[in-house]
Amino acid sequence: MTSLRRRIGVNTWVWTSPLTDDALRTLAPKVKDWGFDTIELPVENLGDWDPPSAATLLADLGLDATVTLVMGEGRELVAADAATVRATQDYLRGVVDAAHTVGSPVIAGPAYTSVGRTWRMSEAERRACYAELVEHLEPVVAHGRDAGVRLAVEPLNRYETSLINTVDQALEALTPLPDAGILLDVYHLNIEETDVPAAIRRAGSRIVHVQVCANDRGAPGADHLPWREILTALDDAGYRGPLCIESFTAENATIATAASIWRPLAATQDAIAVDGLAHLRELMPRS
């Protein structure tokens, strides 16, 4: 059993995309009633949902918020023209502002290239891309620092990016940006790391957000992942933040295609959240 009783959250992508004010008004009370501590709010496009309204709703329910950024088509911080980079930086600063309004301590996601963009590169080319990424992320990190919001950069699996796949690559890329951290998503760790708990321990103090799901994106626990060892490794790494269940509905064409969700991953979408919550709670102290 892990030594910590962590907050547990769930991403609204389990049910809908893009998130809207109406959808949040429906989902947030359910999430609270099921026993979650945190609700994770994706910002696919600025203005999809209203941060002040969301802040009021969540405060009334007693729910914490975390915020995820979305690197859709046309959002690029490396190997792109200056106008694209500026537009991406503007978007990320807007996500920081939304996070500040709803009280999220992080914005989390693959803040480097659009999901699905892959290309071959030499190690020298990769290092050059990392230097470019640092240059283009620095203003976003500074904006977050002023707002009390930390950027968490997510390594993705090899099928979704060729730039940052592993914990070690993320640590290398972010070395010049000490105020930036890492988002660890267990789904991607399972694909790219030969020893998931060891990778978590290597990430150490750079971990600022964690997303969880089964190895097939279903409910945590309905899988082969070593959950006790994963939670112990997070304890050892010093991570004290929430565990946020992230999965997707196959009914949404954009997100389902990006995440390769071609079939239902549980009996119902609610079951991904409720069963995952029950499994994670079972591994934690009761008080």
Contact 158/192 with Cβ under 8 angstroms? yes
Report the pLDDT value the prediction gives residue 226, as an integer from 0 to 100. Answer: 97
Residue 285: pLDDT band with limits 50, 70, 90: confident
Mean pLDDT of the chain: 95
Report the pLDDT value the prediction gives residue 286, as an integer from 0 to 100. Answer: 81
Residue 250 confidence (pLDDT) above 90: no
Is residue 233 in a domain? yes
Residue 133: pLDDT band with limits 50, 70, 90: very high
Is residue 163 in a domain? yes
Is residue 1 in a domain? no
Q: Which domain holds residue 218?
A: 8-282
Residue 258 confidence (pLDDT) above 90: no
Residue 253 confidence (pLDDT) above 70: no
Is residue 180 in a domain? yes
Residues 242, 100: Cα–Cα separation, whole Å:
17
Residue 261 confidence (pLDDT) above 90: no
Residues 213, 11: Cα–Cα separation, whole Å:
11
Is residue 3 in a domain? no
- pTM for this predicted structure: 0.96
Q: What total number of domains does the chain contain?
A: 1
Report the pLDDT value the prediction gives residue 2, as an integer from 0 to 100. Answer: 60
CATH number of domain containing 175: 3.20.20.150
Mean per-residue pLDDT, 211-240? 96
Is residue 168 in a domain? yes
Query: Mind listing the pLDDT tens digit for each residue in 156-190?
Result: 999 999 999 999 999 999 999 999 999 999 999 99
- CB neighbours of 24 closer than 8 A, spacing ≥ 6? 12, 41, 49, 54, 57
Is residue 32 in a domain? yes
Q: Which residue has the higher pLDDT, 255 or 30?
A: 30
Is residue 253 in a domain? yes
Residue 287 confidence (pLDDT) above 90: no
